[in-house]
Amino acid sequence: MTGLSLSDKVTIGAALLGGAAGVAGTFAVLRRRSLVGDMLAHASLPGVCIAFAITGSRDLLGLSIGALVSGLLAIGLMTLVVRWTRTKEDAAIGIMLSGFFGLGIVLLSVVTRSSLGGGSAGLSSYIFGEPGNMVDSDLYTLVGVGLGVLLLVLLFYKEFKLVSFDHEFAKSQGWPTLALDLAMMTAVALVTIIGLPIVGVILMAAMIILPGATARMWTNRFNVLLILAGVIGATTGAVGVRFSSGLPTGPTIVLTGAALFVASILFAPEQGVVARVWNETRLRFRVAREHLLRSLYELNEPNFPRLAPTTFQQLLAHRYAQPWMLRWLVDQSENRGLVAVRGDQVTLTPLGFRRAAEATRTHRMWEIYMMEFAGSAPDHVDRSADAVEHLLPESLLLELEARLAREGRLPAIATEVPASPHDLASEGNSS
């Protein structure tokens, strides 16, 4: 009817499923209900068996209605158990998941044995996922559900956003959070159930969770998150199917999604592990370098304007650091032309002196701020928050500068080089 080859149909079907699951699943992830998808998937089996026993056909629509009913029943029972007894949500999810699935296995063996015989063989595809059986009508159902989920999300965009961001607040604002929650979970349930014949019971949870969790690494904005999750889900589905020659389709789709997820965890620009480690290391080195410059400045301060060489021992005694680290820092600063090294002796270059003065000035202003305006004891002020001076208002900076000058502690160069606090930082950042 559609004139598509089976593999094209499966690809389109998986992409549709992935997209819809990505969008609906994002809400589940945000509401900390990721595993409800897993529960729904397992809990749908008895419904599938009963629907099959009644209709006697493997038609996706009929079976899905059965699945939906038993899935929603499981959610309802779970909610009641949590509300009425001391059983906690995690246990209730587990009980419904395994109890319903056990019932499904029992019914499955009954249905398989009964007169319906051969036609029921396809039912086990609900457990393992067998997209090879996909027919045109299945594809239409998928399209329908995908559009339905999209429509639901578009209609209730604002409300869903509110509920998934701050449930309590939404409640206090008089929104029917229970109904909205239920609508969100229904979307998840719909997608889950449609996805079962493609990826199977266990892996359906991955289709729900992975796109949302992956997209979350790339953006902090809700609308972008939803779109991205949809795109990632669709891509995962389509690519997974294409990779799956000779491999089971469901697991391949999931592994594709997992690979995307791992890549995002590692390499996402801001929240990725690599980016974070890189930024932290860079910050640590910048702080260490400024510490070195400040040490050199402070050790030379009594002899100004003469700049005498300083030994490593002096530096280590002044501010403790790992010797190898100090060595490395000195070498690095030499490469940048900030210090001149001769054997054991380190001397500030004119450029280095200017940088050192700026770093010292920054630090002293912060110290004064902490002492005067935040009331901290003089020897306990923060030693690492050098960047903080950029936070202080201009008027306060001038006041602090005046004080330092009065006490003769304002680094000399800083009076010549008018305060341009951003230079230092932007230099640090551009490396």
Question: Within positions 148 to 207, which residues make up the interface with another protein, using CB under 8 A?
Answer: 202-203, 205-206
Q: In sequence order, which ranges of 301-419 are alpha helices (DSSP H)?
A: 312-318, 323-335, 350-368, 394-406, 412-416
Tokens representing 216 are: 């979350």
* Interface pick for another protein out of 7, 61, 73, 94 (rule CB under 8 A): 94
Q: By C-beta, is 21 or 348 nearer to another protein?
A: 21
CB of 276 to another protein, least distance (A): 8
* Interface pick for another protein out of 24, 51, 127, 142 (rule CB under 8 A): 127
Q: By C-beta, is 208 or 296 nearer to another protein?
A: 208
Q: Does 254 bind another protein (CB under 8 A)?
A: yes
Q: In sequence order, which ranges of 33-88 are alpha helices (DSSP H)?
A: 34-55, 60-84
* Interface pick for another protein out of 383, 398, 405, 423 (rule CB under 8 A): 383
* Interface pick for another protein out of 306, 335, 377, 395 (rule CB under 8 A): 377
CB of 340 to another protein, least distance (A): 29
Q: Tokens 């004080």 identify what position?
A: 403
* Interface pick for another protein out of 69, 79, 128, 371 (rule CB under 8 A): 128
Rounded CA separation 289/146 (Å): 55
Q: By C-beta, is 392 or 413 nearer to another protein?
A: 392
Sole window of 12-20, 96-104, 181-189, 397-405 interacting with another protein (rule: CB under 8 A): 96-104
29 to 68, contacts with another protein by CB under 8 A?
A: 29, 32-35, 37-38
Q: What angle do CA 213, 266, 232 make, to 5 degrees?
A: 40
* Interface pick for another protein out of 135, 143, 387, 412 (rule CB under 8 A): 387
Tokens representing 353 are: 């002196």
First to last CA, the chain: 60
Rounded CA separation 216/117 (Å): 46
- Kindly give, in sequence order, each residue whose CB lies less than 8 Å from that of residue 208, ignoring residues fewer than 6 positions away: 21, 24, 25, 28, 29, 34, 37, 38, 188, 191, 192
> CA distances (Å), 379 to each of 158, 249, 284, 376, 400, in order?
52, 65, 22, 8, 18
Sole window of 12-20, 122-130, 294-302, 305-313 interacting with another protein (rule: CB under 8 A): 122-130
- 2 with 9: CB under 8 angstroms? yes
Q: Does 371 bind another protein (CB under 8 A)?
A: no
Q: By C-beta, is 124 or 223 nearer to another protein?
A: 124
267 to 296, contacts with another protein by CB under 8 A?
A: 271, 273, 279-280, 283
CB of 244 to another protein, least distance (A): 9
Q: By C-beta, is 20 or 370 nearer to another protein?
A: 370
CB of 161 to another protein, least distance (A): 17
Strands 310-311 vs 339-342: parallel, antiparallel or unpaired: unpaired
Rounded CA separation 231/23 (Å): 9
Q: By C-beta, is 348 or 370 nearer to another protein?
A: 370
CB of 272 to another protein, least distance (A): 8
Is 340 strand, coil or helix? strand
CB of 317 to another protein, least distance (A): 18
CB of 346 to another protein, least distance (A): 25
Rounded CA separation 311/345 (Å): 5
Query: How many residues form the binding site for another protein (CB under 8 A)?
Result: 82
Rounded CA separation 290/389 (Å): 14
404 to 423, contacts with another protein by CB under 8 A?
A: 422
Sole window of 16-24, 92-100, 136-144, 309-317 interacting with another protein (rule: CB under 8 A): 92-100
* Interface pick for another protein out of 66, 233, 250, 411 (rule CB under 8 A): 250
How much of the chain is in helix, strand and coil states, percent to nearest 5? 80, 0, 20
Mask for 209-248, x = binds another protein (CB under 8 A): xx-xx--xx-----------------------------xx
CB of 373 to another protein, least distance (A): 5
Q: By C-beta, is 386 or 401 nearer to another protein?
A: 386
Angle of helix 201-216 relative to helix 177-199, nearest 10 degrees, comes to 120
Q: Does 352 bind another protein (CB under 8 A)?
A: no
Neighbour count for residue 315 (Cβ, 10 Å):
21
* Interface pick for another protein out of 86, 158, 306, 342 (rule CB under 8 A): 86
> CA distances (Å), 217 to each of 37, 212, 225, 230, 265, in order?
21, 9, 9, 14, 7
